[in-house]
Amino acid sequence: MTKRVRGGGPNRSHRAYRTIMRGFRGVVALAVGLSFLFPLYIAGVTSVDTPADVFVFPPHLVPDFDFQPYTAMWHMAPWLMYFGNTAFITATTIAIALATSVLAAYALTFIEFKGRSALFMLVLFVLMVPAEALLIPNYVILHQMNLLNTRWAQILPYGGSVFGVFLLRQFFLSLPTSYWDAARIDGASHLRFLWSVALPLAKPVLFTIGLYIGIGSWNSFQWPLIVTVSHQVQPIEVAVQRLMSAHSVDWRRLSAAGIMATLPLVVIFLFVQGAIVRGLSRGEGLHE
């Protein structure tokens, strides 16, 4: 009773309850967060195990830091070549897709002409076409173009990005029209305005689009698997898969290859996480 008068009792226990709940939430959240890291950790531990620690039950969870699997794995395949292929395919896809998106989005925003909205609808129509419907016809088309089993076969089908056109158009629409009027009065052409005014302002959007196209291209597996046979033109994901399906491959080396292929993306992710999150919240649903 007296406690209540002093105002401590129920309030204090309520505060204690809230503190406990906060702590509890923090612990549960930590467990959830770590469970997403755990599979990567397991692969990491396996990749630096000593041979004696691989086939044990229960599995041991403390790394041995034996880097022999990495050197052994490195000599099993021309990894630099595969990395080079992946990097070339990714960079070229980003460059082409950004260029086509910028030009088209500009025309669809700043130039008035008959049928503009119809053309934009035609671009958006691409989103309605399911990817699985394109798998076989695109293979046939690349066969007719004599491009099967090349790096270009992994680049050209991704040369037009609806996601890119859409986001850039959204951005261009948000620019004040007075910019364009002022440039026009100064006698600037469309290309001049695009290059000197619109593009520099669009840098963050270009970065987001490039990032998404890049991650998709770097991680692509199904299409390279279908359109390539020669190791010389294959990306790293296909090479890793071949190592997996080769029987009798040492688990430590396999894990080392997996970590090696994952690491570049993790490093990039840590730098650009903010842009990824912003892009996801901005362009909901368009990148799939």
Partner 1 sequence: MTQRPLPESLTIQTSAVRARRRHDIGHAMVLLLPLFAFLIVFTYLPAAVSLVLGFYHYHLLGVNTTFGGLGDFKEALTYAVFWQALRNTLVFALYMIPATLVGAVAIAVLISEKSRYYALLRTFVLLPYITPVIATSIGWLWMFNPQYGILNAMLHWLHLPQSQWLLSPQLAMPSIALYTLWHGLGFDVVIVLSALSNMPHHVMEAAAMDGATAWTRFRRITLPLLSPTLFFLAIITTIGTLQAFSQIFALTGTQAVAGGPENSTLTLILLIYQTAFDYFHFSYAAAMALILVMIILGLTVIQTWFSKRWVFYQ
CB of 269 to partner 1, least distance (A): 5
Question: Three-state DSSP class for 125?
Answer: helix
CB of 126 to partner 1, least distance (A): 5
CB of 134 to partner 1, least distance (A): 5
CA–CA gap between residue 157 and residue 142 (Å, rounded):
9
- Class of residue 277 by CB neighbours under 10 A (exposed 0-12, middle 13-18, buried 19+): exposed
CA–CA gap between residue 288 and residue 276 (Å, rounded):
14
CA–CA gap between residue 240 and residue 79 (Å, rounded):
9
Among 98, 165, 205, 206, binds partner 1 (CB under 8 A): 165
The amino acid that residue 18 corresponds to is R
Measure the N-to-C terminal CA separation of the chain; round to a whole number of Å.
Answer: 62
CA–CA gap between residue 8 and residue 4 (Å, rounded):
6
CB of 106 to partner 1, least distance (A): 6
Residue numbers 245-284 binding partner 1 by CB under 8 A: 245, 247, 251, 254-255, 257-262, 265-266, 268-270, 273, 276-277, 280-281, 284
The answer to whether the beta carbons of residues 149 and 85 sit under 8 Å apart is no
Judged by CB, which is closer to partner 1: 3, or 191? Answer: 191
Q: 10 Å Cβ neighbour count for 153?
A: 23
Give yes or no for residue 182 binding partner 1 (CB under 8 A).
Answer: no
The answer to whether the beta carbons of residues 161 and 206 sit under 8 Å apart is no
Give yes or no for residue 187 binding partner 1 (CB under 8 A).
Answer: no
CA–CA gap between residue 110 and residue 103 (Å, rounded):
11
Give yes or no for residue 15 binding partner 1 (CB under 8 A).
Answer: no
Residue numbers 26-85 binding partner 1 by CB under 8 A: 26, 28-30, 32-34, 36-37, 39-40, 42-43, 46, 54-59, 61
Place of tokens 């309850």: 17
Residue numbers 208-237 binding partner 1 by CB under 8 A: 215, 218-219, 221-222, 225-226, 236-237
Among 16, 99, 121, 201, binds partner 1 (CB under 8 A): 99
Residue numbers 126-155 binding partner 1 by CB under 8 A: 126, 129-141, 143
The amino acid that residue 19 corresponds to is T
Residue numbers 192-211 binding partner 1 by CB under 8 A: none
Q: Which of these, 216, 203, 222, 220, lies nearest to 275 by C-alpha position? A: 203
Judged by CB, which is closer to partner 1: 77, or 103? Answer: 103
Give yes or no for residue 285 binding partner 1 (CB under 8 A).
Answer: yes
Judged by CB, which is closer to partner 1: 2, or 274? Answer: 274
CB of 2 to partner 1, least distance (A): 27
Give yes or no for residue 20 binding partner 1 (CB under 8 A).
Answer: no
DSSP 8-state symbol, 49: -
CB of 18 to partner 1, least distance (A): 11
Which range binds partner 1 by CB under 8 A, 1-9, 96-104, 166-174, 195-203? 96-104
Angle at 96 between CA 93 and CA 100, to 5 degrees: 135
